[in-house]
Amino acid sequence: MSWSKGKSAALGLTLLLSAGCGFEPLYQEDGAAGRLKNAVIVEATGDDLGYEVENALVKRLGSPLAPNYVVIVRTSLAEIEVAAGGLDGFERFNFEGSGEFEIRRLGGDRILYEGVVEGSAAYSSTRETFHTLAARRDARRRLATQLAERIARRLEATAERWLE
């Protein structure tokens, strides 16, 4: 049996076994996670990190065309100095952030699902203010994207349990 025939046989066996266990792709259109696309309004805390998480979540979940749900995100951020370089003015910082989130039916009070995600991103400072500010802004943006991705994945992975 050639290598490509072996791969084909393994793929066929995997598909056959997957079909037997009730496997469904997460993002199929009529699946629970697919029904979240363009159906969620995102509201986040009014700080910079919250604003960036909100934008990243809207980008990930889509602009709400016919919203059915609202996800509320409360972010927190800590900036921690982890290394100082002495005479050359080099320092290393970590942003550690979290996002508490809850999703509700639009206009409803009952929390359908809630959770907390955490993440971190690092940046280095130098004697150059411009470069330090750019690195700091980029690290905060990377952290926001990381938190938004984790929230979206959690919502999509659990949607079948709470989606009404």
Domain boundaries, the chain: 32-162
pLDDT, tens only, 36-85: 889 999 999 879 999 999 999 999 999 988 899 999 999 999 999 888 76
- Order of strands across the sheet with 91-105? 40-44, 69-84, 91-105, 111-125
| Euclidean distance between CA atoms 11 and 9, whole angstroms | 5
In the chain, % helix, strand, coil (3-state, to 5) comes to: 45, 30, 25
| Euclidean distance between CA atoms 39 and 67, whole angstroms | 4
Output phi, psi for 82, to 5 deg: -110, -15
DSSP run (H or E) holding 36: helix 32-36
Using an 8 Å Cβ cutoff, are 117 and 97 in contact? no
pLDDT for residue 83: 80
pLDDT, tens only, 103-125: 999 999 999 999 999 999 999 98
Q: What is the DSSP letter of 31?
A: S
pLDDT for residue 20: 54
**CATH number of the domain located at residue range(s) 32-162 in this protein:** 3.30.160.150
